[in-house]
Amino acid sequence: QQPVQSPQAVILREGEDAVINCSSSKALYSVHWYRQKHGEAPVFLMILLKGGEQKGHEKISASFNEKKQQSSLYLTASQLSYSGTYFCGTERGSGGSNYKLTFGKGTLLTVNP
């Protein structure tokens, strides 16, 4: 079952902030975030594990609320290079032997000058 991402699309001006949300109806072991530029392969941003560990990447950070099975990706002071489609991927269960990484439908982020 695909996780649900919101919003579907967001348009920013350079320097503005954005939040992308990802939620699942099932208990999660981990949440992954990837960014994909048009015509390219998805690129890994970060992983958040059950236990609430939060990991950041430059000016991009994320959180994982285990009780709500939700994750949020925070883009601070956006740059033109942040434009692309952001996907969250989720793994269910206790991890380890569960290798199914299921992706949401994506959020299209456009950063304008």
Partner 1 sequence: NAGVTQTPKFQVLKTGQSMTLQCAQDMNHEYMSWYRQDPGMGLRLIHYSVGAGITDQGEVPNGYNVSRSTTEDFPLRLLSAAPSQTSVYFCASRPAGGATGELFFGEGSRLTVL
List residues near partner 1 by CB under 8 A: 2, 29-30, 32, 34, 40-44, 47, 49, 87, 89, 91, 95-96, 99-106
Least gap, CB of 88 to partner 1 (angstroms): 9
DSSP three-state, residue 53: coil
Neighbours of 98 (CB within 10 A): 12
User: What whole-number distance in Å separates Cα of residue 92 and Cα of residue 102?
Assistant: 9
Q: Helix and strand tally (H, E) in the chain?
A: 0, 10
* Closer by beta carbon to partner 1, 65 or else 102: 102
* Closer by beta carbon to partner 1, 43 or else 80: 43
Least gap, CB of 42 to partner 1 (angstroms): 5
* Closer by beta carbon to partner 1, 57 or else 59: 57
Least gap, CB of 81 to partner 1 (angstroms): 19
The sign of the CA dihedral 103, 108, 45, 41 is positive
